[in-house]
A and B are shown apart, each in its own frame.
Chain A
Amino acid sequence: MKLSHEQVRHIAWLARLGLSEEDVEKFSLQLSNILENIEILRQVDTTGVPPATHSITLRNVFRKDDVVDSYSQTQILSNAPEQEENCFKVQPILE
């Protein structure tokens, strides 16, 4: 499986990851190499084998809906790069 530059750019777009042209070139080669090594999975007969999402089988984990203290607005905002009027500040979403 060889990843083209165009595919690398598309994946980066899906991941919202800015890449330099140099990165695109490098990832095209490296990811292709990794995927080649992953091709070995095709050799395994997995007909009828259920996929494992976890290594333990816990189902329907419930807890009591107890009221507990949470964090204050100040605490939660304390790491925000930008804030305004007790809110996280983001770029405009609507033009």
Chain B
Amino acid sequence: MQATELHQLTIHEAHELLKQRKTSSLELTKSVLKRINDVEGRVRACVTIAEDIALKEADKVDAYMRAGHEITPLTGIPALIKDVICTKGIKTTCSSKMLQNFVPPYDATVIEKLNAQKAVIVGKTNMDEFAMGSSTEHSAFFATHNPWDLSRVPGGSSGGSAVAVSTDEAIYALGSDTGGSIRQPAGFCSVVALRPTYGRVSRFGLLAFASSLDQIGPMTKDVTDCALVMNAIAGHDPRDSTSVPHPVPDYAQHLVPDIKGLKIGIPGEYLVEGMQTEVRAALERAVDKLQELGAEVDWGVSLPHTKYALAAYYIIAPSEASANLARYDGVKYGFSAGNASNVIQATERTRQFGFGPEVKRRIMLGTYALSAGYYDAYYVKAQQVRTLIKQEFDQVLQRYDALVTPTSPTVPFKLGEKLEDPMQMYLSDICTLPISIAGIPAISIPAGFADNLPIGMQIIGKPFSEGVLLRIAFAYEQATDWHSRKPPLS
């Protein structure tokens, strides 16, 4: 073991030290808290730091371990959680003024599952308000900065979680992905992140944005950690009727660095106009590496409906959001504007002053698409196109074990660059949206740099093929060293 500081460890490294009694959960947690203290002023990844709760929990876990109990891979390991996932007794704000003081009376299922492994939750990470955005600039509180270049965005909406993992403010984090919100920031910050198959991980306690698209997933320092977190959070939950009752495999078993004979396709539609040449070059090098490792690569794959995914997404997701966010009326929880003469005015004022501009934009767009006279032309049409996109993926994935694309068409952009132009912001998710629409899994892993700015590779698979994606990602990671590079933050 090198003279590494504790917060720099991966889950599996920290777990080994805990098992050998070479460190304690308290030491790990203190190291992470110190790291947060050192870098947070520059990157601003966290909305809430639950220092007291974390130290107390770490202490309890240490006592549990001293008592000789068996420990699991996440026991005693400090994590940060995207602030869209309910944590009992710890504020859950969705980075919105609407929920600035909301303290959930319950834990999300994924938090219960982490708690069952005696994980230590250190705090909550910044995000685009209600997970709507691609840069974390739409947080109602503050923007998060990309540690690779502080003048650039970390991506979004799980920007805080991506930055926290990249800067060692946590050993790992959870994010959520609706149209790319786990994968795009992972690519922008050079970390590993998996969007599971829709239904693989329970959404209970995940504040709803677009229910048919939302999924929670791991954001980690390497592929092994990603498998370990998946082992902890995947599985059926009676409280989420869209969670799937398939048995959960041991994802760690898929971590074999052998991809000989696997068929990997590269869909031409993802090498889009406007894609940076450096990103394309990095993808080509990464694909060459996969081929070198024994994969059978085909550059001739076509998914012709790809170009309609953005339009379909920006009907479906806002429509569901407009319905889901109807609950924020200033009565049951959250912000209330007050000073109204009747109940309708009270609701209007609460929503006017509680929601930020991007959330309002999407509520408006969704309400319009669902309103009388436009429902068939927009909502039903988008859902039909969704069927076609899904069918196209199903057909192509019969012939390939996985598809590979860049995670984003560009390297991280400048803060403020796309803030006033929603369409340009939406286009930064062009490579991730179709996968969400089809409900299939995809992992983003570090695949290179252009002028010290990260480039991510997205590996896409059949429903419930997370194991195959982890295997390909693991083989690539073993053969490269992108994942071990750290941002230039002292």
Q: Give the interface of A toward B (CB within 8 A).
A: 3, 7-8, 11-12, 14-20, 23, 27, 30-31, 33-35, 37-44, 46, 49-56, 58, 61, 63, 71, 75-76, 78-82, 88-93
B365 interface residue, CB < 8 Å from A?
yes
Q: With both chains docked as a complex, state the minimum distance between the C-beta of A66 and any C-beta of chain B, in angstroms.
A: 9
Interface positions of B from 368 to 420, Cβ below 8 Å from A:
368, 371, 378, 380-388, 390
Complex partner residue of B385 from A18, A34, A44, A58, CB under 8 angstroms:
A44
Given B307, B364, B368, B386, which contacts A40 in the complex, CB threshold below 8 Å?
B307
Q: Are B368 and A31 in contact (CB under 8 A)?
A: yes
Cα distance A93–B340 in the bound complex, in angstroms: 12
User: Is there contact, CB below 8 Å, between B349 and A18?
Assistant: yes
User: Is B9 part of the contact surface with A, judged by Cβ < 8 Å?
Assistant: no
26 residue pairs of the A-B complex, CB under 8 angstroms, read A7-B368, A14-B367, A16-B344, A17-B348, A17-B355, A17-B363, A31-B368, A34-B422, A34-B426, A38-B314, A40-B308, A44-B381, A44-B384, A46-B385, A49-B384, A49-B388, A51-B387, A54-B212, A55-B386, A56-B242, A56-B463, A58-B244, A79-B332, A79-B334, A81-B333, A88-B331
**Cα–Cα, bound, A91→B25 (Å):** 50
Render B225-249 as a binary contact track against A, CB cut-off 8 A, 1 for contact: 0000000000000100110100000
When the two chains form the complex, which single residue of B105, B340, B342 contacts A76, counting CB atoms closer than 8 Å?
B105
Find chain A residues with CB under 8 A from B439 CB: 54-56
Q: Which of B343, B378, B423, B440 contacts A33 (CB 8 A)?
A: B423
How many angstroms between the C-alpha atoms of A17 and B383 in the bound complex?
A: 26
Instruction: Answer whether A90 and B364 are a contact pair too, CB < 8 Å, given A18-B351, A55-B212, A56-B244.
Output: no
Nearest CB of B to A93, in Å: 5
Task: Give the residue name and chain of the B residue nearest to A93 (CB).
Answer: B343
Measured CB to CB, the nearest residue on chain B to A82 is B336
Contact B384 A50 (CB under 8 A): yes
- Give the total of B residues in contact with A, Cβ under 8 Å: 73
Residues in A with CB closer than 8 Å to B256 are: none
> Nearest CB to that of B344 among chain A residues?
A16
Minimum CB–CB distance from A72 to chain B (whole Å) comes to 9
- Sorted from nearest, which 5 A-B pairs have the closest CB atoms? A55-B439, A18-B352, A51-B383, A81-B336, A79-B333
Give CA–CA (A35, B364) in the complex, Å.
12
Is the beta-carbon distance between B364 and A15 smaller than 8 angstroms?
yes
* B335 contacts A by Cβ under 8 Å: yes
Residues of A with C-beta under 8 A to B345: 91
B180 within 8 A of A: no
CB distance from B413 to the nearest CB of A (A): 19
